[in-house]
Amino acid sequence: MFQNYMRRLFWLILGVAVSSIGIAMMLQANVGLEPWSVLQQGMSLRTGMTYGTASAIAGAAAILTAVLFGESFGFGTIINIAGCAVIIDAIQAAHLIPQMHGLVSGIAMLIGGLELLALGTWLYMKSALGSGPRDALMVALARKFGRSAGVCRAVVDVLVTVIGFFLGGPVGVGTIISAVGLGPLINLNFAAVRFKPAKVHQENAAETIARIAGKR
């Protein structure tokens, strides 16, 4: 049991780290951000908080809304929210990734970041320690309103993009590329490693505690 959880925790932390690097690359691409990043960067620019802090607040709000609608969360969800915030801020503070100033180089950086985000999503999901906060929100909204998760995601993506734009978040060609390309890129990565997320049960916090305590 202990070794199993250590292995899953390893994949979880690696996934969070890889995803965070991808998000930092997208920030430095300087050609527009994906919807949630537009919101989070807008929050950062408007309030002076770091991007990581804004990311943590947005993630916490997403999972809180999902919980209010009856969705559960796992310890991996919490690690996802906190880990991404810390790692992204550390990367940005250390200036590890240079900012792009050309359209071609910016798009190349953005696509590289999207690929790392897709890869990190696979690593995170294979740990099966809880849904990501935004994924949990999509599922909760789909159940609440009787719509598909895809429709709910599209509506939320438009909403957070608009709010982020009015807060000063960067919207550009990268926003369109991210909105259109991230889903198919994730699917391509999943297909390449033969990963079927629908067949993976994401363990919630109560289940994890029960299993560690030997009750399940």
Segments in the chain below pLDDT 50? none
What SS3 class is residue 203? coil
pLDDT, residue 64, reads 93
pLDDT, residue 216, reads 56
DSSP string for 160-200 = HHHHHHHTT---SHHHHHHHHHHHHHHHHHHHHTT--GGGS
Q: Percentages helix, strand, coil for the chain, rounded to the nearest 5?
A: 75, 0, 25
Non-local CB neighbours of 183 within 8 Å, separated by 6+ positions: none
Residue with tokens 């991230």: 182
Burial of residue 104, with CB atoms counted within 10 A of its CB: 0-12 exposed, 13-18 middle, 19 or more buried: exposed
pLDDT, residue 184, reads 86
* pLDDT, tens digit, 9 for 90 and up, residues 72-102: 889 999 999 999 999 999 999 999 999 999 9
* pLDDT, tens digit, 9 for 90 and up, residues 111-141: 999 999 999 999 998 999 988 888 888 878 8
Q: What are 140's two structure tokens?
A: 């909760």
Give backbone dihedrals phi and psi of 84, rounded to 5 degrees, phi first.
Answer: -60, -40
Residue 196: how many other CB atoms lie within 10 Å: 8
* DSSP single-letter state for residue 65: H
